[in-house]
Chain A
C-alpha cells in the first residue's frame, strides 16, 4: 500500500507508505500535522496536492464514504459519536454504513446478521452493560471505547486511530492495548498517540512528524532512544 502526500501549510511534502497489515505510530508535538494527515487520508479535508493510494487504488478524488466502503476506517481525537442515539444504534449504524441497505425502510429482525455483528462489537469493547443508554449519558472512557467500536465495524482493512488513549484511565489504557494487539494480523493501522507507553507497545514502526514534515522514521526502539527525538518530544512538546 502506498500513500503519497503533498498538502501545503499543515503538511508539506509528506510521503508515508504503509504495508498491508503494518502497524505504525505517528508521533509528534501538537501542530505537527498528524490529524491533518488523517483528514487527508479519509477525505475529511482533501489534500491540496498529491495523491492517496489505498491498496494500490487511487482514492484521492473519492468522497470520504467511498473510501470507508473500501475498508478504510478512522477514529477521532475528540469523540465524534451520535449523542442522541443509544450505544447499540451507534454501533449498528457503523455496521450498516459499510454494508448494503443503508436506505432500508425495513427494521432489522432479531436474526439480522448486522444485529449479531453489532452485539459482538458492543461486547468486544466492554459496553454490553450500557448498550441501551444514550451516548450523551456515557462516561468519557466509554465514549472512547465506542469510538473504537465504530472503526472496527464491518471488515476494516486499514484503520487510523487518532489518540485513542486520550483521557483514559490506566485500566482503560490496558484494555485499549489489549484490543489493539488482538486485532487480526491482516488489519494494519496508524495510531497517533502521545502516550509512548501505549504507542510503542502496539506498533512495529514509527514515523516522527514535526511542523508538517516527516522528521524521522524507524523501529520503536530506535525512535525511543534517538536523542534528537527525545529533544523534540520532551523539549519542544509545548509549542
Chain B
C-alpha cells in the first residue's frame, strides 16, 4: 500500500470499533423486539397447540425458507427466479425417491441420513444448472426462463411414472426417527424447522456482508463496473443461484417431511408464484421479509376461508384476498411490509431528531 501514503492517514481512533462492527453486522443484537420474537419462537410449544405449531408456524418457517432463497437472489442479486419452489419440490421428490415411502416400487429405501444429503446435492445441482441458463438473460427474461423451468418440471412430474409416479405423486414418505425421537412429532418437527430457518436466516444475513454477498450486490447495481474491478459477474450470479438453490432445497426437504407426501400439485406454477408473492409482500430488501410474508400468506390461507364464510362470501375466495393484499403492497410499498415498517420507523425517528437522507422506496 505504497499508494498515496503522503496524504494524512488517521487511524480509526474509536476503541469500540469492534463493537460497532458487531452491531453493524448483526443489527438484531441491539433490537429488543428481535430478542422478544426469538424468545417467543423458542417457547412456542408451551403456548401453541399442535395445529398452530405445525399448520401455522412450521409451515410459515418452511415457506419462509423457500422464499428466503428468492429474497437472496432478488434482493442482493437483482435476479427474480420463479424456480425456487421447483428446486424445493425437486429436493422433496428426491427425498421420496431415494428414501422410504408407501410407493415401494419407486422409492429406493435409503435411510434418511443418506437420502437427505443426496436430495440436497441433486437439488443444488439442478438449481445451479437452471441458474447457469438464467444468467444469460436479464430482467423479465430471467423471470420467463425460470418460470419455463418451473412449468416444464410440473408437467414432467405429471407425465413421468417411472420416477415421479405421475399425477398421484409419492405418498407416506418416511420421516427421520433417531435417538428415540420421532422427528415428525409436532414439537420435535417444530424445532427442526425453527433450527433450519434460523440457520438459513443468519447464513443469508452473514453472507450478505461477506465478500461474496457484497460482490453480488455490486453485480446487481452495476455489472459492467464489477467487471472493471476484476470480478466475473456471471460467475458470481451462478454461484448465487447455487447458494439459493441449497437453501430452497432445505425448505423442500422440510416440506416433504411436513406433508409426508409430494405430488405435482406441490410444484405447480401457482405454487411457484405463491413464493414470489410471499417474498414481495414481506419485502426483498432484508432476510426477515420472506418470513413475514410467509406468515401473512399462511394466516390468510388458513383463516380467510372462515372469515369470508362468516361474512357470507364464498370461502374459496381467499386467494382474492391474497391478490388484493399483493396489489395493495406493490402499489403502496415496493419493498413490502418491511419497507412500510421501516418508513414508519424513520418518520417517527425524524420527528424527534432532524436527520435527512431519503432512502430508496
Partner-B contacts on A (CB < 8 A): 42-44, 63-65, 68-69, 73-74, 76, 80-85, 89, 92-94, 96-98, 101-108, 110, 116-117, 119-121, 123-124, 128, 133-134, 136-137, 150, 152-154, 179, 182-184
Known: A65-B227, A98-B229. A123 touches B217 (CB 8 A): no
Cα A150 to Cα B230 with chains together (Å): 11
* Minimum C-beta distance from B31 to chain A (A): 19
* Minimum C-beta distance from A220 to chain B (A): 24
7 tightest Cβ-Cβ pairs between the two chains A and B? A97-B230, A97-B229, A124-B4, A64-B227, A82-B221, A80-B225, A68-B230
- Extra 18 A-B pairs, beta carbons < 8 Å, given A84-B360, A102-B215, A121-B4: A65-B227, A74-B228, A76-B225, A76-B228, A80-B225, A83-B221, A93-B226, A97-B215, A103-B212, A103-B215, A107-B206, A117-B1, A121-B3, A123-B7, A150-B225, A150-B229, A154-B230, A182-B4
Most chain A CB within a 10 A radius of its CB, from B5, B12, B230: B230
A102 touches B227 (CB 8 A): no
Sorting the interface of chain B by its residue count into under 10, 10 to 19, 20 to 34 or 35 or more gives: 35 or more
Cα A107 to Cα B220 with chains together (Å): 19
Give B208-235 interface residues, CB cut-off 8 Å to A: 209-212, 214-215, 217-218, 220-222, 224-232, 235
Contacts of B5 in A (CB 8 A): 120
B228 touches A110 (CB 8 A): no
Cα A183 to Cα B221 with chains together (Å): 29
B209 touches A152 (CB 8 A): no
13 contacts between A and B (CB under 8 A): A44-B224, A74-B228, A76-B228, A81-B222, A82-B217, A97-B226, A102-B211, A102-B215, A103-B215, A120-B4, A120-B9, A152-B3, A154-B230
Cα A239 to Cα B69 with chains together (Å): 51
Which of B1, B3, B228 is A64 in contact with, Cβ under 8 Å? B228
Which of A103, A120, A137 is B357 in contact with, Cβ under 8 Å? A137
B222 touches A80 (CB 8 A): yes
B7 touches A68 (CB 8 A): no
Which of B227, B229, B359 is A63 in contact with, Cβ under 8 Å? B227
A184 touches B3 (CB 8 A): yes
Give B306-342 interface residues, CB cut-off 8 Å to A: none
Contacts of B1 in A (CB 8 A): 116-117, 120
A85 touches B228 (CB 8 A): no
* Minimum C-beta distance from B3 to chain A (A): 6
Cα A103 to Cα B238 with chains together (Å): 11
Contacts of B214 in A (CB 8 A): 85, 89, 92-93, 96
Contacts of B8 in A (CB 8 A): 123
Whether, in the assembled complex, B345 has its beta carbon less than 8 Å from a beta carbon of chain A, the answer is no
Contacts of B212 in A (CB 8 A): 102-105
Cα A68 to Cα B232 with chains together (Å): 11
A107 touches B229 (CB 8 A): no
Cα A99 to Cα B111 with chains together (Å): 44
B17 touches A110 (CB 8 A): yes
B9 touches A103 (CB 8 A): no
Whether, in the assembled complex, B354 has its beta carbon less than 8 Å from a beta carbon of chain A, the answer is no
Contacts of A74 in B (CB 8 A): 228
Cα A134 to Cα B361 with chains together (Å): 14
Which of A68, A85, A93, A121 is B227 in contact with, Cβ under 8 Å? A68
A82 touches B222 (CB 8 A): yes
* Closest partner residue, chain B, to A106 (CB atom): B210
The interface bits of chain B over 1-24 (1 if a CB of A lies within 8 angstroms of the residue's CB, else 0) are: 111111111111000011001000
* Closest partner residue, chain B, to A80 (CB atom): B225
Whether, in the assembled complex, B25 has its beta carbon less than 8 Å from a beta carbon of chain A, the answer is yes
B220 touches A84 (CB 8 A): yes
Cα A74 to Cα B229 with chains together (Å): 9
Known: A85-B217, A98-B230. A107 touches B4 (CB 8 A): no
